[in-house]
Amino acid sequence: MTFREVLRPAAAAPEGALVLLHGRGADEHDLHPLLDLLDPERRLVGVTPRAPLSLPPGGAHWYAVYQVGTPDPATFWPTFRDLCAWYDGLPERLGFPVDRVVLGGFSQGCVMSYALALAAGRPSPRILLALSGFMPVVEGLEFDLARPGLEIVIEHGDGDPVIDVAFARAARQRLAGSSIEVGYREFAGGHTIDGAALASLRAAVAATLD
């Protein structure tokens, strides 16, 4: 499947890619402004794809939501398989090293990013930016947390009314003791990306490339 996407070229030959997945009801333009904020020198080619499903109350969706924390398997699995194929084809299509992907997502996009980065048999990105989401529980989905060298940065609002901060705390606890380096931060706010975190996220992206 070909996802609708918005590309932001690198300034020169790309050193890697920055892939950002939007949240429920948004589209491929929603996180596009973050590409320059997280990679101002344009060392990376930036890609923001559009989720494939059109569901109520509107916008694009990665899967149907009936219960927070447990994506609907009937919609999650087809999307996930197509997303894996799209994601795995990016290095050859866009001309960057296969092992230099910065992956991030907000809300539903964070959920899909966790699956892309941690599902058993999947390659690890350089870093995962997990923004206001959760590690999904789906029948048949198994995570492999033996990933030395992978860094995950978790950001979540302590007053999030959509995805409770308890999900972020559960992810931190689940990742504790694994070989994955975890950075964790709660901020005073709701279901949003905290502007105060952009400087530290930008530094984390630069550090993983260097």
Q: Given CA atoms 60, 65, 69, 74 in this order, what sign does their dihedral have?
A: negative
* pLDDT the model gives residue 1: 65
Which residues, listed in sequence order, are joined to residue 45 by a DSSP beta bridge?
Answer: 17
* Contact by Cβ (8 Å): 168, 197: no
pLDDT digits (tens, 9 = 90+) for 19-48: 999 999 999 999 999 999 999 999 999 999
Name all domains of the chain by residue range, CATH numbers in brackets: 20-178 (3.40.50.1820)
Both tokens assigned to 5: 């996407």
What pTM did the predictor assign?
A: 0.96
The answer for residues whose C-beta is within 8 angstroms of residue 169's C-beta and 6 or more apart is none
| CA distances to 24, 75, 190 from 187, in Å | 21, 31, 9
Q: Tell me what percent of the residues of the chain surpass a pLDDT of 70.
A: 100
pLDDT digits (tens, 9 = 90+) for 51-97: 999 999 899 999 999 999 999 999 999 999 999 999 999 999 999 98
pLDDT digits (tens, 9 = 90+) for 105-162: 999 999 999 999 999 999 999 999 999 999 999 999 999 999 999 999 999 999 999 9
